Amino acid sequence: MGSTAGEVTRADFPEGFVFGVATSAYQIEGARNEGGKGDSIWDVFTDNKERVLDGSSGEVAVDHYHRYKEDIELMAKLGFGAYRFSISWSRIFPDGLGTEINEQGVAFYNNLIDFMIEKGIQPYATLYHWDLPHNLQKTMGGWLSDKIVEYFALYAEACFANFGDRVKHWITINEPIQTCINAYGVGIFAPGLCKGVAAEPFLAGHHQILAHAAAVDVYRRKFKAKQGGQVGFVIDCEWAEPKSDKMEDQAAAARRIDFQLGWFLDPIYFGDYPESMRQRVGEYLPKFSEKDRELMRNKIDFIGLNHYTSRIIGNQPNPQPQEIHFYQVQQIERTDKWSSGEAIGERAASEWLLIVPWGIRKTINYIVKKYENPIIYVTENGKASMLLIFFLVHFLYLKFLIVVSFPAYVG
């Protein structure tokens, strides 16, 4: 049975359309000092209670480590077919170095994966959702060191070897731009670095791109033939709607998307950063060697898109001096209101989040056109004060995704 007037049901979606939920390890697992786990940068970051509004941390969180069966059973009861979870790097390799695997950590994720499969839920595993082993940050500067590429590849290989017989959808890195800007630029995310060094966010991004490519390379050489899975990269992007028809506003909106999507996808598809970034970032933007380009070339099986909102973008040749370098060089004005004063969309419970249904359609169409019609999974979307619904969809079904205004699913 299809939908009645104004309602959307599962029957409105085609066969093969997968509904899922998603989490990240630090946000839910807890058990900081259990099961042989080492500290992550978020464990250490939140030890300073002044860094979090209410002084809380993920030391216990929702205790998923001990209560994962209850959580999986709830997902199954709600009818979800997929669970996108992240693996804690420091639960697999407590020091991050890849020299000695933590068998207790492997056992936890094996049990988790086995139970979700038992309940009819497909595992979608993210290798990195911001929780770098603290030892790698302390000893070598984390994502600022080129050595991290090798260590990430070792970690990825261990996960493929231990879980890849059942996990067929792998995500290497979630939202690399957030690590670059909020962790190494603004300092509001772990490890909380804000030294005002313009080059550091771009260096962190450079190494995340190469780490992703190295992990895909390992999978294709050693595991793909037998396991038959896919490995992708999750990028977050707000749609940039031009403020006007003026050429300078159109160009500013295009730049904004270059600095979100293009930063991480252009090197994989085209071998280098977008020209707009090269022009504005200059010497602060690292260069790829021929060896790097060979490693990166087409190292992606799908694009994961995290999309929550859209913004109105205009040209701003004289950006505010208090903005960090990343925003200054874009030379954009970013707002959520049209010149008439009308908001671009309905505001959700979170102050920054406005609901703009047409924005996700434009973002997906942009990706399809620019990056040669790839497989796309919408790995995150939704709004505050709702049970987040993560739509996982092959590009053939995009027309169903882009024409339906999804209702809020209240948890």
Number of other CB atoms surrounding residue 307 within 10 Å = 22
Residue matched to tokens 């695997």: 101
| Amino acid letter, residue 143 | W
Task: Give me the catalytic one of 29, 157, 175, 200.
Answer: 175
Residues contacting residue 140 through CB under 8 Å, at least 6 positions apart: 147, 148
Element (H, E) at 171: strand 169-174
| Distance in angstroms (rounded) separating the CA atoms of residues 218 and 206 | 19
Is the preceding omega at residue 191 within 30 degrees of 0, hence cis?
yes
| Distance in angstroms (rounded) separating the CA atoms of residues 213 and 153 | 9
Q: How many CA atoms lie within 13 A of 266 on its CB side?
A: 17
| Distance in angstroms (rounded) separating the CA atoms of residues 30 and 131 | 13
Q: Is 323 a catalytic residue?
A: no
Q: How many CA atoms lie within 13 A of 164 on its CB side?
A: 23
Q: Is 380 a catalytic residue?
A: yes
294 φ, ψ to 5°? -65, -40
Task: Give me the catalytic one of 157, 238, 241, 380.
Answer: 380
Catalytic residue IDs: 175, 380
